[in-house]
Structure 1
Amino acid sequence: MKAMILNSYGEDASFEAAEVETPSVKPGHVLVKIAASSVNTVDTMIRNMGKDLPLSPDTPAILGMDFAGTVEAVGDDVTDYSVGDEVYGCAGGLADLPGTLAEYIVADADLLARKPKNLSMREASALPLVAITAYEGLQRAGIQPGQKVLVHGGSGGVGHVAVQLAKHWGAEVYSTGGGEKQLALIEQLGATAINYKSESVEDYVAKHTGGSGFELVFDSVGGANLTKSFEAAAFNGQVATTVSMCELDLTPAHFKGLSLHVVFMLIPMLHNFRRDAHGAILKDLAVIAESGALKPVLDEQKFSLEQIGDAHARLESGKAMGKVVVDN
C-alpha cells in the first residue's frame, strides 16, 4: 500500500512516499481503508521532537492518529463491525501503533465507532482526538445544565468542539478568542465571544458573572494561561485543561478550592488502558452529531496524502481555521 513515511525526526524532517506491506487483520481489530485523516498538534510535535517525546514511534514511522474509512476485513473476536461499515476513530500514529498516513490501518475495534451518518468522511476524520478530549474534560469536570462555562480557545480544534458539547449539555457558554474570525466563529457556534486581547479576566468575569466567576473553565490553551483559568473560576469551581506540561504556582487554585482535571486522551492507546471507553465516547459523539448539535469546522485548504508536509505546515502556521484534513 501507499504510505507517507518519516525516516528521521526534526524541524526539517520531511515525509517521503513509500510502498509498504498492507497490514493483516488480527484478533480484536479491523482492517480499514482510510478515506481521510486529520492533523493534530501532537502529530507536529512528534515530527519535530522525535524521541524527545516519549510517545513517538520508531523510524521509519507512519504518523497520523485520526481517520474515517470503510471496514475491509474483520478479525476474530470482533462482533460489532462488518465489512462495508463506515467507521471513525483515533487509533495509531504513536508508540508501536502505525498511523493513518497510508491507504489502510489495522485498528483496535475498541477505539472505533460507526461514522456519524450526516457527516462526510472528511468531517468525521476531524473529530476523534479533539472530540474525545473535549468530551472527557467536560464530563470529568461534572458539567451540568445551567452552569456558566468558559472555554479558552473556542475557535481551536478542541475548543470549538468543547463549545458545542457544553451547549448540547445545557450550559451557558462563553469563550475566548483573539481575532475577528475567531470571535465570529465562537458566536456562530452559539457561545458568547470574549476578546482576550482587549478584555482582562477581571473585566469579563465582572461583565458575565457579576464577579462570582465561572463554575467550569475548560482550558484548551493551557500552560501560563492556566493562571487566567484559576482567576476566572468561581469558588469551588472546576478547571479542566488539555495542556499542563508546565511548572505553575497552584496557590490561587488553593485559595479558591478549585478542582483541576488534566486530560491526556492518548493514555488508552499508549497503555492499552480502557480502550473501550473511547469507543463508547465516539458512539455517543455520533449520536450528538446526528442530532445536529456537533459539527466539526474544517480549514478551507485541502490536502492530498502526498501533501502531508504542507498540511503540517498549515497547522503550524496558526492560520488554519478549524481542523486540517488530508484526503487519503
Structure 2
Amino acid sequence: MKAMLLHEYGEAARFREEDIPQPRTKPGHVLIQVKAASFNPVDYKIRTLGPDFGPELPAVLHGDVAGVVEEVGQGVTAFKPGDKVYGCAGGVRGTGGALAEYMLADADLLAPMPGNLGFSESAALPLVSLTAWQGLHDMASVVKGAHVLVHGATGGVGHVAVQVAKNLGARVAGTVGSAVKAEVARSLGVEEVINYKQEPVEEYVRRLTAGQGFDVVMDTVGGKNLEACFPATKLYGHVVTSVARGDHDLSLAHARGLTIHCVFMLLPLVTGQDRAHYGLVLRRLAAWAEAGSLRPLLDSRRFAVTEANEAHEYWASGKHQGKIVLEWR
C-alpha cells in the first residue's frame, strides 16, 4: 500500500511517499481503508520533536481517521466490512497512523461515522471532540446551567468545546481575537463573546459573572493563558487545560481552591487503558452531529494525503482557519 513515511524526527524531517506492506488484521482490530485523515498540532509536535510517545521509525503519523472497514479481526462484533467508521486510533508508539491507504485500528477506539457527515468532516472530529468531552464532561462534570468559559473559542479544540458545553446544557462564553472570529463563535453557540485583545480578564469577569468567576474555564491556548484562567474561575471552580506544558505559578489557583484538570487525549492509545470509553463517546458525539448540534469547522484548503508536508507547512504558517483535512484522491 502507499503511505507517507517518516524516517527521522526533527524540524527538517519530511514525509516520503513509499510502498509498504499492508497491515494484517489481528484480534480485536479492524483494517480500515482510509478515506480521510485530519491534522492536529500534536502531529506536528511528533514529527518535529519525536517525543517518547512517538511511533518507532520509520513511522506513519496522524491519529484522526475516517474510512471504510475492509476486514475485521477475531472477536470484533461491532463492525463488519463496508461499515463507515471514524476515530482517533493511531500515529503514536505501538500503532500505525492514518497517512496510509490502510490503517489497522483497535475496534474499541472506533465508532460508526455520523450519517450526515462525509469522510473529511468525520475525520476532523475525533481528537478535538474527545479532548473537549474528557475535559468538560469526564473531569469538570459540566451540568445544565453551568457557566463555562472557553479560551480560543474558534480553534481546533475550542470550537468543539463550545459545542460540547452547549450540548451539556451550559451557558457558554468564549474568547476570540477578531470581529470575524466573534461571528464564527456566535454561530457555534457562544452566548457571550470576549475579545481578549480589547477586554482584560478582570473586566469581563466583572461584566459577565458579577466578579464571581466562571464555574469552569477551559484553556486551549496554553502558555501564560493558563495562569490567566485562575482569576476568571470562581472559588472552588474547575480549570481544564489541554496545553499545560511549561512552568506555571499556581499560587492564585491555590488561593482560590481551584481544581486543575490536564487533558492528554492520547493516553489510552499509548497505554492501552480505557480505550473502549472513547468508542462509546464517539457514538454519542455522532448522535449530536446527526441532530445538528455538533459540526466541525474545516479550512477551505484541502490536501491530498500525499501532500502531508505541505499540510504541515500550512499549519505552521498560521494561515489556516478551521481543521486541516487530508484526503485520498
Q: Measure, in 1, the Cα distance between the counterparts of 2:255 and 2:14.
A: 48
Shift of 1:49: 0.8
Instruction: Please state if 1:181 is matched with 2:162.
Output: no
1:271-316 C-alpha deviation (Å, 9 max, x unpaired): 0011101111111111111111100000010100111111111222
List runs of 5+ in structure 1 lacking aligned partners. none
| 1:5-84 correspondence runs (5 A) | 5-50=5-50, 53-84=51-82
Q: Which residue of 2 aligns with 1:158?
A: 157
Shift of 1:175: 0.5
TM-score normalised per structure 1:
0.98
Which AA in structure 1 matches 2:119?
M
SS of the counterpart of 2:315?
helix
Q: Measure, in 1, the Cα distance between the counterparts of 2:289 and 2:307.
A: 29
1:117-170 C-alpha deviation (Å, 9 max, x unpaired): 011110000001000000000011010111111000111110000001111111
- Of 129, 132, 156, 2:130 maps to 132
Q: Measure, in 1, the Cα distance between the counterparts of 2:93 and 2:9.
A: 14
Q: Which residue of 1 aligns with 2:171?
A: 172
Shift of 1:183: 1.9
Q: Does 228-237 or 180-189 show the bigger shift?
A: 180-189
Q: Which residue of 2 aligns with 1:311?
A: 311
| 1:212-251 correspondence runs (5 A) | 212-251=212-251
Q: Measure, in 2, the Cα distance between the counterparts of 1:110 and 1:221.
A: 30
Which AA in structure 2 matches 1:250?
L
SS of the counterpart of 2:225?
helix
1:13-55 C-alpha deviation (Å, 9 max, x unpaired): 11111001111110000010010000000000011112xx111
SS of the counterpart of 2:224?
helix
Which AA in structure 2 matches 1:307?
E
Q: Measure, in 2, the Cα distance between the counterparts of 1:62 and 1:106.
A: 11
Instruction: Please state if 1:211 is matched with 2:211.
Output: yes
Q: Which residue of 2 aligns with 1:284?
A: 284
Which AA in structure 1 matches 2:182?
L
Q: Measure, in 2, the Cα distance between the counterparts of 1:228 and 1:127.
A: 28
Q: Cα RMSD between the aligned structures?
A: 0.9
Q: Which residue of 1 aligns with 2:142?
A: 143
Shift of 1:91: 0.7
1:163-220 C-alpha deviation (Å, 9 max, x unpaired): 0111111111010111233222111111022111111000111111111110110111
**Structure 1's 181 and 317: CA in aligned 2 closer, same or farther, altered over 3 A?**
farther
Q: Measure, in 2, the Cα distance between the counterparts of 1:311 and 1:222.
A: 23
Q: Measure, in 2, the Cα distance between the counterparts of 1:154 and 1:30.
A: 35
Q: Which residue of 2 aligns with 1:93?
A: 91
Q: Measure, in 2, the Cα distance between the counterparts of 1:216 and 1:185.
A: 22
Q: Does 186-195 or 294-303 show the bigger shift?
A: 186-195
Shift of 1:270: 0.2
Q: Measure, in 1, the Cα distance between the counterparts of 2:244 and 2:85.
A: 31
Which AA in structure 1 matches 2:195?
N
Shift of 1:317: 1.7
Aligned residues: 326
